[in-house]
Amino acid sequence: MAILITGGAGYIGTHAMVEFLNAGREVICVDNFSNSKPCALERVKQITGKDFKSYEVDLLDYDALEKVFVENKIESCIHFAGLKAVGESCEKPLLYYHNNLTGTFNLCALLQKYGAKKIVFSSSATVYGKPASVPITEDFPLSTTNPYGETKLMIERILKDLHAADNEWSVSILRYFNPIGAHKSGLIGEDPKGIPNNLLPYVAQVATGKRPYLSIFGDDYNTHDGTGVRDYIHVVDLAKAHLKAIERAEKVSGVEYFNVGTGVGYSVLDIVKAYEAATGAKVPYKIVARRPGDIDECYANPDKAYRVLGWRAENNIEDMCRDSYRWQSNNPDGYGE
Ligand code: NAD
Ligand code: UD1
């Protein structure tokens, strides 16, 4: 019996594949490589010393996806596959709605048809919009400000409806805060296309000399030093939360929501200092205008994940910075061409 991992070649997917394989689970990867490269899966095999099946399949192609179900005994699914760039989602909303929603429709229809009604879904703290206070608990009101966030919220609702119609479904919705860092081997990590949108990949490229300085988007936020505060979580800790979530989904049906964060907020300037301290590298920066859509503070109350799943983050900010730096130094061009 195998666990289907959609988007398994991506940043979080590769780290999850490593944890699942190390735990002795059988996994099957499905990815269309629209934002990843097949060699990332070779690195997963190198780290774990284990083999697994992978399919170059687009979730939008129902027939190709069904073939994966026909050829394998799939019992559950971790659903990472989706497009994730906020800015791009505003420019190309139809692409985002089509890819993320239609892909999920096809996937869920097949999970249902083949009796594999257990799914862990990659949601995001973006579903909390601009929270009225922090830390955020799972019962906070939900709202979004961009098509990417809309797809996350819509998929959460679709999965809830699936369970309402058929209570054999086990749905675990993980709302990630800000995943950063890389596997300690330095073999897998985040490989953004072009100029990174997110803070940590940008800092890593500055620290290793690929870019001259970091632009800090605003220093007049309502935070301890004026720069934006987020809950950064090590990608390996995040990956481990999926294992806990699927173990629970195997035992109980229902729909459950979990914040996956550390519960600690760091500002952009805190991150710059932590990165320099952990690596010895310099991160020059300039303060520039705010980025539209950014919020002051966003960090989790992750108690529910500990209470229900027995999961909590183990790596600290120093581990995250050091592992990010190792990955970036060893792979200045990511996975390459
Ligand atoms: P990623 O882009 O590295 O991985 C996603 C993978 O899905 C890629 O390998 C891509 O090729 C694949 N994919 C996309 N559309 C597909 C389709 N139609 N068919 C098959 N494969 C497809 O992103 P990631 O950072 O690993 O994120 C994984 C999931 O977590 C995404 O759903 C993302 O929205 C969500 N998430 C990410 C973050 C973050 O900061 N990285 C935060 C919150 C939520
Ligand atoms: C962004 C997305 C969010 C998504 C999350 C994880 C936006 C508006 N939000 O969140 O929907 O769930 O990524 O993928 O894009 N920063 C700089 N300089 C930079 C980059 C970032 O100062 O070059 C600052 C930002 O202003 C923010 C912090 O660093 O205060 C973190 O930014 P980022 O890594 O992009 O994550 P989020 O804004 O939390």
Residuewise pLDDT in 10s, the chain (337 residues):
999 999 999 999 999 999 999 999 999 999 999 999 999 999 999 999 999 999 999 999 999 999 999 999 999 999 999 999 999 999 999 999 999 999 999 999 999 999 999 999 999 999 999 999 999 999 999 999 999 999 999 999 999 999 999 999 999 999 999 999 999 999 999 999 999 999 999 999 999 999 999 999 999 999 999 999 999 999 999 999 999 999 999 999 999 999 999 999 999 999 999 999 999 999 999 999 999 999 999 999 999 999 999 999 999 999 999 999 999 999 999 999 7
Map residue 69 onto helix, strand or coil: helix
Question: Which residues make Cβ contacts (< 8 Å) with residue 33, sequence separation at least 6?
Answer: 9, 56
Atom of ligand 2 nearest to the CA of 149: 11
- Catalytic residue at 148? yes
Distance 9 CA to ligand 2 centre (A): 22
Distance 337 CA to ligand 2 centre (A): 27
Decide if 121 contacts 12 (C-beta within 8 A).
no
> What CA–CA distance (Å, rounded) separates 285 from 288?
9
pLDDT at 218: 98
In eight-state DSSP terms, residue 37 is -
Distances (CA, A) of 213 to 122, 169, 274, 324, 327: 32, 48, 16, 17, 19
Which residue among 291, 295, 299 has the greatest number of ligand 2 atoms within 8 angstroms of its CB, and so is best to mutate?
A: 291
Give yes or no for a cis peptide into 135 (omega within 30° of 0).
yes
Atom of ligand 1 nearest to the CA of 12: 26
pLDDT at 318: 98
The one catalytic residue among 148, 266, 299, 335:
148
Question: Which residues make Cβ contacts (< 8 Å) with residue 116, sequence separation at least 6?
Answer: 4, 69, 74, 75, 76, 77
Structure tokens at 235: 């990608």
**Nearest ligand to the C-alpha atom of residue 189:** 1
Distance 230 CA to ligand 2 centre (A): 8
Report whether residue 13 contacts ligand 2, using a CB cutoff of 6 Å.
no
Report whether residue 131 contacts ligand 2, using a CB cutoff of 6 Å.
no
Residue corresponding to tokens 């973006």: 126
Decide if 302 contacts 312 (C-beta within 8 A).
yes
Q: What is the DSSP code string of 221-251? A: SSSSSSS-EE-EEEHHHHHHHHHHHHHHHHH
Q: Please tell me the residue having the least CA distance from ligand 1 atom 13.
A: 81
Burial 122-159 (b: 16+ CB within 10 A, else e): bbbbbbbbebeebbbebebebebebbbbbbbbbbbeeb
Question: How many CB atoms neighbour CB 259 within 10 A?
Answer: 27
Residue 124: which of 105, 111, 142 has the closest Cα?
142
Question: Which residues make Cβ contacts (< 8 Å) with residue 273, sequence separation at least 6?
Answer: none
Q: Diameter of the chain by CA atoms? A: 56
Report whether residue 124 contacts ligand 2, using a CB cutoff of 6 Å.
yes
- Walk me through the domains of the chain, giving residue ranges and CATH numbers: 2-181+231-261 (3.40.50.720)
Report whether residue 151 contacts ligand 2, using a CB cutoff of 6 Å.
no
Decide if 136 contacts 301 (C-beta within 8 A).
yes
Residue 85: which of 239, 160, 196 has the closest Cα?
196
pLDDT at 337: 74
Strands 297-298 and 53-56: unpaired
Atom of ligand 2 nearest to the CA of 196: 23
> Nearest 5°: phi and psi at 70?
-70, -40
